[in-house]
Amino acid sequence: MQSELYIAVIVIMSFFFMVTIVTIITLFPKKKMPISTTLGSLRQQFESIHQKMLDLQGQIWSYGSSEEEKSKYWRIACLGVAEKAVIVLQSCYLEREQSEAARAVYDELLMSLMSIGIGEISPSLGEEIDENDQRYRINKREGKPPFGVSKILYPGYYFKPRLNKASEGSDEFIIAPALIEVVGKKPDIVK
């Protein structure tokens, strides 16, 4: 979105520059005038204005690329924090069946982390999954594909940055896949 803003600013500045040139050209009479020193100085002024506009254009482009770098570093920092938070989430998930306090901490922590783009990967029991799906790590298999989820040992987590409106379509990063057990819909045939 910021790069679109820079382009819009450059287009508007170029438009005003062109309007200024056209206005000056139309104000001069159509007769052939002898070249005066004022016309030469006017040309020099236009060249210096044009050079200043080119310099500003260069500054705008370098500003945009530095903002992109800052955004990239911010995503990397968020991903690092997210990886550390997932360890705490997994611990609370394992303890939440025994303790209401652990359940409350887990729910609150997950809701807080969702605001920066961390989400839970938790398939429903019986849901049919592909064994090659990177969101799941299969602990135990029984039967033949297609597989259905029989037990969730702990959910997985992904990170999808929500830094600005431009990042809405950005990719998801799997921080930790869900650890699950599956049962095949087709039983093993023993001969």
Give me 179's structure tokens. Answer: 């650890």
Tell me, letter by letter, the H, E, C secondary structure of 62-124. HHHHHHHHHHHHHHHHHHHHHHHHHHHHHHHHHHCCCCHHHHHHHHHHHHHHHCCCEEEECCC
Looking at residue 124, its pLDDT comes to: 92
Q: Provide the angle, in degrees to the nearest 10, between the axes of the packed helices 37-95 and 100-114.
A: 170
Alpha-carbon gap, residue 111 to 41, rounded angstroms? 66
Q: Pick the closest to residue 96 from 129, 120, 128, 127 (CA basis).
A: 120
- pLDDT recorded at residue 63: 61
Segment (H or E) for 24 = helix 2-27
Q: How far is residue 163's CA from residue 73's CA, in Å, rounded to a whole number? A: 12
Q: Is 136 exposed, middle or buried (0-12, 13-18, 19+ CB in 10 A)?
A: buried
Q: In what order do the strands lie in the sheet with 144-154?
A: 128-129, 144-154, 178-186, 136-142
Neighbours of 104 (CB within 10 A): 12
Neighbours of 121 (CB within 10 A): 20
Q: What is the pLDDT of residue 60?
A: 66
- How far apart, in whole angstroms, are the C-alpha atoms of residue 50 and residue 63? 20
* 10-residue averages of pLDDT along the chain (191 residues): 72 77 70 59 76 73 66 75 80 83 86 83 91 89 87 89 58 88 73 51
Q: What pLDDT digit, counting tens, does each position of 163-177 carry?
A: 555 555 567 888 889
Tokens of 155: 């959910």
Q: Quick one: pLDDT at residue 136?
A: 93
